[in-house]
Amino acid sequence: MRQVIVAGNWKMNKTSQQVIDFVNKMNAEWKKCKVIICPSHSLLSTLYQTGKNKGICIGAQNIYYESKGAFTGETSSDQVKEFAEYVIIGHSERRRIFGEDDSILNKKVLSALNSGLRPIFCVGESSQQRKTHKEYEIIKEQLDNGLRSLSTDDIKKIIIAYEPVWAIGTGEVATPQIAQEMHFFIRNHIKNIDGDIADNIPIIYGGSVKVDNFYDILRCDDVDGALIGGASLDALNFSDLIKIGEKHNIDLINMSDSS
């Protein structure tokens, strides 16, 4: 049974005081699901100090692949690792706005793993690619290139996030059917590497997840949680999403106990 993951990608939002206020205002309790928050680098230390006793896991939103040196403005995996366990790599905003291609992303994945960070590796097709029926080809390519040269032990540490570009920040969430079909495809593709890993790898969905659509997405067999942007910014909203994730995780445990 795979654990439910409720992850917030705060993108470029909040100040240190707002992080403290957010954590104090959260009203969810969880024991079974995993809650991850990914703030800007400047907020990692504040979230680490305020959130670690509450069971919040911390993720960064980016790293540079070199380990140190003259790379003004960049942050290495080792620097991030002081505060975070996870790092988002391959988000479509990094691919599109910052021109990060598959080969850069692959170096970032390898660097993160090397420092002991767990990558949340994002893949997703654009609306044009879906309209022209290229979505499976694109996802396969992003997975193969981004996860190139990883050992089976490394792949076990990855979380895959399927984030269709057309669903990010648009309010147009993927239907449960679209999400399930792609998550199934991704899991099946990982089976080419190893069947056990494929069964256990977390594959989470991202793109316009909100309180009123999260449960329907989460019920899909191959969806193990969500990477949430806008709806993760408000403490009470995010708490409600955690409650949905926690309840679903408990239901899964009960189902597996009774079978």
Residue number, 116 or 169, with CB nearest to ligand 13P: 169
What is the nearest approach in angstroms of ligand 13P to the Cβ of residue 36?
A: 11
Using an 8 Å Cβ cutoff, are 198 and 186 in contact?
Answer: no
Quick one: tokens of 32?
Answer: 């079974």
DSSP string of 106-167? Answer: HHHHHHHHHTTPEEEEEE---HHHHHTT-HHHHHHHHHHHHTTT--HHHHTT-EEEE--GGG
Any contact of residue 202 with ligand 13P (CB under 6 A)? no
What is the nearest approach in angstroms of ligand 13P to the Cβ of residue 24?
A: 23
Among 62, 76, 79, 208, binds ligand 13P (CB under 6 A): 208
Using an 8 Å Cβ cutoff, are 32 and 232 in contact?
Answer: no
Count the Cβ atoms, other than its own, within 10 Å of residue 7: 26
Site for ligand 13P in 67-86 (CB under 6 A): none
Q: Which of 143, 161, 181 is nearest to 224 (CA)?
A: 161
Residue number, 114 or 213, with CB nearest to ligand 13P: 213
Q: What is the enclosing helix (H) or strand (E) of 197?
A: helix 195-200
Contact region with ligand 13P (CB under 6 A), list: 25-33, 75-83, 190-198, 204-212: 204-212
Any contact of residue 55 with ligand 13P (CB under 6 A)? no
What is the nearest approach in angstroms of ligand 13P to the Cβ of residue 169?
A: 4
Q: Reply yes or no on whether 74 is catalytic.
A: no
Any contact of residue 209 with ligand 13P (CB under 6 A)? yes
Q: What are phi and psi of 229, to 5 degrees?
A: -90, -100
Site for ligand 13P in 119-178 (CB under 6 A): 163, 168-169
User: Based on the number of CB atoms within 10 Å of its own CB, is 45 exposed (0-12), middle (13-18) or buried (19 or more)?
Assistant: middle
Task: Look at residue 95 and give its three-state secondary structure.
Answer: helix
The residue from 93, 163, 246, 248 that is catalytic is 163
Residue number, 218 or 252, with CB nearest to ligand 13P: 218
Q: Reply yes or no on whether 163 is catalytic.
A: yes
Whole-angstrom distance, CA of residue 165 vs CA of residue 134: 13
Any contact of residue 56 with ligand 13P (CB under 6 A)? no
Whole-angstrom distance, CA of residue 232 vs CA of residue 228: 6
Residue number, 156 or 210, with CB nearest to ligand 13P: 210
Whole-angstrom distance, CA of residue 33 vs CA of residue 225: 9
Contact region with ligand 13P (CB under 6 A), list: 151-159, 180-188, 200-208, 238-246: 200-208
**Residue ranges that bind ligand 13P, judged by CB under 6 A:** 9, 91, 163, 168-169, 206-209, 227-231
Give the residue numbers marked as catalytic.
91, 163
